[in-house]
């Protein structure tokens, strides 16, 4: 039986030729292709921002926190549902992540939850645009201004998403993207930061590459601590080819999602995600109440596998991981996030899917929630 994956990168002749050209050029590490992709991303996002590439979104988030001077004694507010990197980078710089609960259908935090978590030690908030759905940022920006907080947007899942008819990333505050193979566009591995703060961007470059500062004559000085977080030109070449196709990828994702909505019916047992303008649909995540069906999630996953469908489980609630229980977090602290973590299933979604694929998935979901499987 051929398995339908829950995601698959869209790699074609454009990407293969782009990589070949870089490999044949003799210059395969960070160079002209990386600079070209930074400019192309800045043009795509708009808002007058500049972009700096990194080897992952995790590195981009970590570097942004370091440049902002966030460290020991500071608190950073993060949603209890995200990929764990959102919280791990906070620990990595020595600060403490403070979790807040999320909405069941959008899986995004809101300003009211953040406001309730602010303390004198709070220095930043990291909203996550979950699955490509933009967080309602306007009240969050106002709250951040009131309390003098850094807003560092985790847009790892939101390249091409829009908020108030502008691309996510055009706001000017630091916004981090991911180009992992399961994202809407890929550089194989990679990430980026968009910002309109020139000094912030200069310091990002230092953190990205050994703390190095170079003058116009090529003389170097090491002015601060820096890591090794740069993106090679081979990856950037893939990214340039992918960026040219991104809007088409996202259009196809929206078409497939509308088919999901047409074929699936929300119920007490099946929670569907929010459909909204500007959504780039990185993932299509549902919650199935397996307890109400007298099943386990493992049992439901097995049913999908038996019908040739691979599904994901994105994501467990972060505060219940052993690493974060040491801060006193436990079961019951964030009930919505915990429900999502226990019940979530990520249904297949990628541009090469067909209408028949969607129909197969929906037929299986419907049979499960109706008790026929």
What's the pLDDT tens digit per position in 66-109?
999 999 999 999 999 999 999 999 999 999 999 999 999 999 99
Give the domains, in start order, of the chain with CATH numbers. Answer: 13-240 (3.40.640.10), 246-369 (3.90.1150.10)
Nearest to 281 by CA among 258, 313, 315: 258
Residues in the chain: 373
Give the model's pLDDT for residue 7. Answer: 97
Cβ contacts of 325 within 8 Å, gap of 6 or more? 319
Catalytic residue check, 295: no
Contact 258, 276 (CB under 8 A): no
Q: What is the per-residue pLDDT for 27?
A: 94
Q: Among residues 268, 270, 269, which one has the least CA distance to residue 260?
A: 270
Q: Which ranges of 156-288 does DSSP label H, i.e. alpha helix? A: 198-208, 233-263
pLDDT at site 55: 98
Beta bridge partners of 150: 124
Give residue 180's pLDDT: 98
φ/ψ bin of 346: left (φ > 0), alpha (ψ from -120 to 50), beta (otherwise)? beta
CA 366 – CA 373 distance, rounded (Å): 9
pLDDT attached to residue 122 = 98
The model's confidence at residue 197, banded by pLDDT at 50, 70 and 90, is very high
Signed CA dihedral, 92, 95, 96, 98: sign only: negative
Q: Retrieve residue 16's tokens.
A: 């293969």
How many Cα atoms occupy the beta-carbon half-sphere of 136 within 13 Å? 14
Identify any residues that bridge with 125 across adjacent strands, giving them in sequence order: 77, 151
172 has pLDDT over 90: yes
Q: What is residue 320's predicted lDDT score, i.e. its pLDDT?
A: 98
Q: Around Cβ 365, how many Cβ atoms within 10 Å?
A: 25
What's the whole-number mean pLDDT along residues 197-203?
Answer: 97
Question: Which pTM was predicted?
Answer: 0.97
C-alpha torsion 278→281→282→286, nearest 10: 130
Q: CA 309 to CA 314: how far, in whole Å? A: 16
In this prediction, residue 370 carries a pLDDT of 96
CB of 128 within 8 A of CB of 283? no
Residue whose entry in the numeric block shows the structure tokens 């109400």: 292
Q: How confident is the model at residue 168 (pLDDT cuts 50, 70, 90)?
A: very high
Residue tagged 């649909």 (tokens): 281
**pLDDT digits 0-9 by tens, 314-327:** 999 999 999 999 99
The structure tokens listed for 188 are 């194989």
Please state whether beta strands 284-288 and 270-271 pair in parallel, antiparallel, or not at all (unpaired): antiparallel
pLDDT tens-digit readout, 122-148? 999 999 999 999 999 999 999 999 999
Residue with tokens 């591995």: 189
Residues in contact with 196: Cβ distance below 8 Å, sequence separation at least 6, in sequence order = 47, 48, 49, 50, 172
In this model, does residue 251 exceed pLDDT 80? yes
**Calpha distance 241→89 (Å, rounded):** 30
Per the prediction, the chain carries an average pLDDT of: 97
Alpha carbon 198 to its chain centroid, in Å, reads 24
Confidence of residue 1 (pLDDT cuts 50, 70, 90): confident
User: Which candidate in 183, 214, 228, 295 is catalytic?
Assistant: 183
pLDDT score at 214: 87
Over residues 263-297, the pLDDT tens digits come to 999 999 999 999 999 999 999 999 999 999 999 99
Q: Is the pLDDT of residue 202 over 80?
A: yes
Question: CA 341 to CA 355: how far, in whole Å?
Answer: 28
**To which residue do tokens 């403490």 refer?**
96
Q: 38 CB contacts (<8 Å, ≥6 apart)?
A: 50, 51, 52, 53, 192
Please state whether beta strands 284-288 and 212-214 pair in parallel, antiparallel, or not at all (unpaired). unpaired
Report which of residues 190 and 216 the model is more confident about: 190
Percent of the chain with pLDDT over 70: 100
């Amino acid at each position: 039986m051929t398995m339908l994956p829950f995601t698959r990168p869209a790699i074609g002749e454009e990407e293969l030729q782009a990589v070949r050209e870089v490999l044949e050029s003799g210059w395969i590490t960070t160079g002209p292709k990386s600079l070209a992709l930074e400019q192309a991303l800045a043009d795509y996002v708009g808002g007058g921002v500049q972009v700096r590439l990194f080897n992952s979104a995790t590195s981009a988030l970590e570097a942004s926190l370091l440049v902002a001077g966030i460290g020991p004694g500071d608190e950073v507010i993060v949603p209890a549902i995200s990929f764990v990197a959102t919280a791990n980078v906070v620990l990595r710089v020595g600060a403490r992540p403070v979790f807040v609960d999320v909405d069941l259908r959008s899986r995004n935090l809101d300003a009211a939850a953040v406001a309730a978590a602010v303390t004198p030690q709070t220095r930043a908030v990291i909203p996550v645009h979950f699955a490509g759905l933009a967080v309602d940022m306007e009240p969050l920006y106002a709250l951040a201004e009131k309390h003098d907080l850094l807003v560092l947007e985790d847009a790892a899942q939101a390249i091409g998403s829009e908020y108030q008819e502008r691309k996510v990333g055009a706001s000017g505050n630091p916004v981090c993207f991911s180009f992992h193979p399961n994202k809407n566009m890929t550089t194989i591995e990679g990430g980026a930061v968009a910002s309109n703060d020139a000094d912030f961007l200069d310091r990002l470059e230092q953190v990205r590459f050994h703390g190095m500062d170079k003058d116009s004559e090529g003389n170097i000085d090491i002015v601060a601590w820096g890591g090794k977080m740069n993106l090679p030109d081979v990856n950037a070449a893939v990214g340039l080819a992918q960026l040219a196709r991104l809007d088409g990828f996202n259009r196809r994702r929206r078409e497939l999602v509308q088919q999901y909505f047409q074929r699936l019916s929300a119920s007490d047992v099946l929670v569907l995600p929010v459909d909204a303008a500007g959504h780039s649909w990185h993932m299509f995540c549902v919650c199935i109440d397996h307890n109400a069906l007298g099943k386990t999630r493992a049992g439901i996953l097995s049913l999908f596998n038996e019908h040739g469908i691979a599904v994901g489980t994105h994501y467990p609630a972060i505060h219940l991981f052993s690493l974060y229980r040491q801060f006193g977090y436990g079961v019951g602290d964030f009930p919505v996030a915990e429900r999502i973590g226990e019940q979530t299933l990520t249904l297949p979604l990628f541009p090469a899917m067909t209408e028949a694929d969607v129909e197969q998935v929906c037929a299986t979901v419907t049979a499960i929630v109706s008790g026929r499987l």
